[in-house]
Structure 1
Amino acid sequence: MNTFDFAGKTVLLTGASMGIGEAFARELSRRGATLILVARSEAKLEALATELGNAHVIPQDLTTAGAAKRVFDAVTAKGLDVDVLINNAGFGINAAFDDIPLTTQREQIDLNVGALMELTYLFLPTIERRQGGVIQVASMASFMPCPYMAVYGATKAFVLSFGEALWAEYRPRGVRVLTLCPGATDTPFFERAGAVGGADKRARPEDVVEVGLAAFLAGRATVIQGTANYVASLSPRFLPREFTAKTMARIAKPKEPARLRAARRGA
């Protein structure tokens, strides 16, 4: 596979307003890429784009029907050709399955799976023509059942399977497809998810981005950030799945139901 340089390339990045997405934006800007920043918060995107310079902003809630096509149409209207797509947007909720509203469960699927798949489908023809690539941001949750984040874990398992399949399909066609699997990372994800604790053990978003970009340039199919995470990802291969599921349930079980947490916050 040919060498790849981000300088002068156009990168579309979802979930760009914070966390891993923001770290991707800053590093790719430093490497000379033109950025197309996508997220719900227009104010945050505009502030980041102003700071970085060569960036375009497309505010969009990717959980809504037709959002991927609206992003594609907006990029086309700007006369831009995407070299690299980074599907980073996603969210999860840490609570019992029946404590999470059905609309929220559906939004996890619509964002983590639906929008990711649709954006990939829409932009891949241009990406192939320009011999670029795709980075799908999955999770350590891709490798094992995730009680109390059941839908989130299932969506990330989809991302891993989908990404690795496309890697095998598109590698002979000169297109890189990497699935990046971070573990716990110091981002606002945990605040939204309702998970607490372990902040001192979370990776820096910049470290996740560094590992991801190196693996992308090397043409790898999948990369897991952190040695401990890599070892943990292997455990379901050697341990009974029931044991893994029960262990994860003990780790992830909320101290109180989500409805009670919401009540305490006055929600």
Structure 2
Amino acid sequence: MSSNRRRVALVTGATSGIGKAIAESLAAEGIHLIVTGRQALPLRALAQGLRDFDVDVYPIAIDLADPSGAQELFVQTVARGLEIDFLVNNAGVGVFGTFEETGLADELAMLSLNTRAPTVLCKLFLPQLARRKGRILNIASVAAFQPGPYMAVYYATKAYLLSFSEALAAEWEGSGVSVTTFCPGPTCSGFQARAAMEHSRLVQGKRLADADEVGRAAVHAMMVGGRVVVHGTGNRFNAVAAKWLPRRWITRAVLKMSAPVAKFGASA
């Protein structure tokens, strides 16, 4: 990738948390940005702040949970005459609760945002990325390595993204296009509140990873061409354990770690 050419990154879910940190890290490297989010006002505020890095920023307010959202995002970037060197699929959401309790509409929107949108964006932007020897960064989760009671569909979406990304990395090896799957654990961001999981034993009373540090680590992983990068020593241990221990044991452990505090008690 020529350092003399104007480089552009598309970052989805950029208005807060890991996505915002990724956008800031890329801007600090002089990379121009297309940033997306659902709400126009926070997105415009983000764009204004990012321009302090002396880069061009194009905010596009769009709901990628809408089945047509990803294709519309592609159309809008083409209409602006933009081509990208980096595709960052960060936008994602969780839904907490037993499967019988959670809302079907919420689950379907999550499936669309967490799996459909990155699939469509990878498909549509691939010709550009191939021409420009670009990079893809898909933000999955340590959840991708095991089933997740109380967040059954969320964990399954991240398993899909991991499998999908690894397959693309193999198909495109030697093409100049790299695909990095970055897998953080619970991170201090707006994710927990939106997923309504503040009372889960997975996060309540825990010291969560800092979103800025996680975002910087994700950008570094993409830039060095890592394939699957799990953030944090404890998360790496859990990912390895999930490969070797019986699935029933792992699932039961996640059940206890994720349950509402009142389910097993704070000291269980």
Report the count of equivalent residues: 255
What's the secondary structure of 1:105's corresponding residue?
helix
Q: Tell me the distance in 1 between the aligned counterparts of 2:206 and 2:76.
A: 40
Higher mean displacement: 247-256 or 104-113: 247-256
Aligned-partner residue type, residue 67 of structure 1: G
Higher mean displacement: 6-15 or 240-249: 6-15
| Match status 1:236 vs 2:247 | no
Across the aligned residues of Structure 1 and Structure 2, the Cα RMSD in angstroms comes to 1.7
| Match status 1:73 vs 2:69 | no
Structure 1 residue runs of 4+, over 6 Å off? none
Identity %, equivalent residues: 36
Which protein has the bigger helix share?
1
Q: Tell me the distance in 1 between the aligned counterparts of 2:28 and 2:235.
A: 28
Q: Tell me the distance in 1 between the aligned counterparts of 2:140 and 2:105.
A: 22
Query: Structure 1: which 5+ residue stretches go unaligned?
Result: 258-267
Which of 16, 19, 29 aligns to 1:18? It is: 16
Q: Which residue of 2 aligns with 1:179?
A: 181
1:1-267 alignment to 2 at 5 Å? 8-53=6-51, 54-196=56-198, 197-198=203-204, 200-255=206-261
CA-to-aligned-CA distance 1:176-222 (integer Å, 9 cap, x gap): 10000000111000111122244642111122122222222222211
CA-to-aligned-CA distance 1:74-129 (integer Å, 9 cap, x gap): 00010001111000000011101111111111011000000110011000110110
Indicate conservation of the 8 Å contact 1:17/1:45, yes or no: yes
CA-to-aligned-CA distance 1:130-168 (integer Å, 9 cap, x gap): 001100000010001100000000000000001111111
Quickly say closer, same or farther: Cα 1:101–1:201, change in 2 above 3 A: same
Q: Tell me the distance in 2 between the aligned counterparts of 1:254 and 1:195.
A: 8
Quickly say closer, same or farther: Cα 1:7–1:88, change in 2 above 3 A: farther
Q: Tell me the distance in 2 between the aligned counterparts of 1:68 and 1:122.
A: 9
Q: TM-score, normalised by structure 1?
A: 0.91
Query: Structure 2: which 5+ residue stretches go unaligned?
Result: 264-268
Aligned-partner residue type, residue 160 of structure 2: F
Q: Which residue of 2 aligns with 1:265?
A: none
Q: TM-score, normalised by structure 2?
A: 0.91
Q: Tell me the distance in 1 between the aligned counterparts of 2:24 and 2:217.
A: 15
